[in-house]
Amino acid sequence: MPIDLPLNPIVAKVTDRIIARSAQTRAAYLDLIARARDAGVNRDVLSCGNLAHGFAAAGEDKIALRDNKSINIGVITAYNDMLSAHQPYGRYPEQIKIFAREVGATAQVAGGVPAMCDGVTQGQASMELSLFSRDNIAMGTAVGLSHGMYEAALLLGICDKIVPGLLIGSLRFGHLPTILVPAGQMATGLANKEKQRIRQLYAEGKVGREELLASESASYHSAGTCTFYGTANSNQMMMEMMGLHVPGASFVQPGTKLRQELTRAAVHRVSQITWEGDDYRPLGHCVDEKAIVNAIVGLLATGGSTNHVIHLPAIARAAGVQIDWDDMDELSRAVPLIASIYPNGSGDVNGFADAGGMPYVIRELVEAGLAHGDILTVYGSSLLEGAQQPVLDGDALRWDPAPRESLNPAMLRPVTEPFQPEGGLRLVQGNLGRGTIKVSAVDRSRWTIEAPCRVFSDQNDVLKAFKAGELERDVVVVVRFQGPAANGMPELHKLTPSLGVLQDRGFRVALVTDGRMSGASGKVPAAIHVSPEAKKGGALALLKDGDVVRVCAETGELLALVDAADWAARTPAQAPEEAIGVGRELFAIMRHFADPAERGGSAMLAAGGL
């Protein structure tokens, strides 16, 4: 299949605009990584004392490292055994070392980074560390790779802020060939819609904590990624759309022979694409403007997590690429929704994989001219080579072509027969600022909500008002002072069951916030990431209870329908005092210097001039 397939004109237009906008920053980035390869910190320039420290504990690999005759792979791991998705990584380093020796290479764990579970911290004070854990992970990745002992890297991470953080950090060492190594999703447990039903019953007081815990435990039940299509699984989709996994690696369950062989394949492949050979594929060349567009297109085509409206601009900046929400919005009008995975549908990622999964999605999008086939992947000459399904032939790994037809049209459809003609994200803007709304799981009849608002500055106060019956009406719930500068921009997924109850009772309900929602949030329309945030002079700070607010994904409006003179005369509400506890005070510098959500909500990137 040729890789010069004609591009959709909107995809081509947006790509060209991003390339032009990024010309200076991308050139500076490519110069940085070229200098890092030729004159940076690497084993050739390390002193004898440096090297001796670097291989002192290398055991049977010590001689190979001392003689500097083999490729040494740096492993950055986000392992912990509390986070179900990352628990399988515990044994990966030893396996990777064995796989490396099979091809005459060596491997060392370059560093470990935190892996925060948003499922555990959801609705808790500790969620205020969540977004900034991404920057912490990026810095930890940079610390690990800064030792200069490595000619390649493998990144072990799968969930929410973790993959973006690993990628941002490793892109600053973009001269190294790098492959991301997933660990796979857990087997299907309790149906997600049943879990949602029990949550809403609990919110109404119709079932108790014992029933709720039994439901949650039946859903989140074993090692592996949660099976709904939230941020973690959207991460895996994006890595495949950018060509940074070995083909089809995303959705294979942990603890299987196939999963192990995919890890082996990643180790072998990364050892083949270093600057010592004739197939050099540095990460910084793989992640370019076209790869970033592919990630956006994949997000839209599959109805992925809203968190990536923040993460993708941050990832792109780390590679010298500048994108904004207008780019995403325009692409959304061209890219059809071809996957239906919970919360957008009833099936989970296991069903998605069984229907054809990412190999099918890649082939559909590239052949339709909606994704760039001519990107530099870690595995081949085009992204289309990623449209292959890994299978075992005995004990050996092979790749078969993606199915030509979906194996389950209820979960996966061709571009010509999509679930919706447009992608799952829209930009909304007006006198309240700019925000994003995920509409792939929202019934079209609720794409426009116009109602009096009720204003809060704490998500727990929303729940109190719900339990007191104060929200039993058409209402736009506004939760402000939830942006990066205010309190670290926590996810407000805790509100979803209560708002869902109100919607199911027949009320027209929407959420407007400068905070985030979980990638699993679905049926209630939510204008989120509103920027500028209230803490930084955003108009949400001007709203009063009873003001009529209009949220319209059809027209892209986010408006307070208030008399202009009255609006201009208002004094902004005072932000709550910054809270302390659970380590929040240690992240104060990140809050104080964070840039807007549309730029990625990062103090680290802002201060670094990226």
Q: Does 226 carry a binding-site annotation?
A: yes
Low-confidence ranges of the chain (pLDDT < 70): 1-4, 519-521
Q: Give, for 112, the enclosing helix (H) or strand (E).
A: strand 106-112
Closest CA to 148 of 59, 77, 53, 64: 53
Q: What does the CA dihedral 350, 352, 358, 363 come to, rounded to 10 degrees?
A: 150
DSSP designation for 541: G
Residues 6+ apart with CB under 8 A from 250: 182, 233, 236, 237, 239, 240, 353, 357, 358
Tracing tokens 């929704």 back to the chain, one arrives at 337
Position 449 scores a pLDDT of: 98
Taking residue 207's Cβ as centre, other Cβ atoms within 10 Å add up to 17
3-state secondary structure of 193: helix
Position 344 scores a pLDDT of: 86
Number of alpha helices (DSSP H) and beta strands (DSSP E) in the chain: 24, 14
Handedness of CA 291, 287, 518, 525 (dihedral sign): negative
DSSP designation for 370: S
User: Do 320 and 272 touch, CB atoms closer than 8 A?
Assistant: no
Both tokens of 148, joined, read: 């200069």
Alpha helices in 104-229 (DSSP H): 118-121, 130-145, 162-171, 192-203, 209-219
pTM, rounded to two decimals: 0.96
Per residue in 199-210, pLDDT (tens digit) is: 889 988 999 999
| Separation between Cα atoms, residue 493 and residue 478, nearest integer Å | 14
For the chain, which residues make up each domain, given as ranges?
15-187+222-401, 425-576
CA-CA distances (angstroms) from residue 180 to 158, 515, 530? 9, 29, 31
| Separation between Cα atoms, residue 26 and residue 288, nearest integer Å | 8
Q: Give, for 560, the enclosing helix (H) or strand (E).
A: strand 557-560
Q: Which CATH number fits domain 425-576: 2.60.40.10, 3.40.462.10, 3.50.30.80, 3.40.50.10800?
A: 3.50.30.80
For residue 476, list its beta bridge partners: 453, 510
For residue 590, list its beta bridge partners: none
Both tokens of 446, joined, read: 């609720």
| Separation between Cα atoms, residue 543 and residue 595, nearest integer Å | 23
Position 424 scores a pLDDT of: 80
Position 1 scores a pLDDT of: 41
Q: Give, for 606, the enclosing helix (H) or strand (E).
A: helix 603-607
Q: Residue 135: what residue type?
A: D
User: Do 223 and 157 touch, CB atoms closer than 8 A?
Assistant: no
User: Do 431 and 564 touch, CB atoms closer than 8 A?
Assistant: no
Q: Does 117 carry a binding-site annotation?
A: no
Residues 6+ apart with CB under 8 A from 210: none
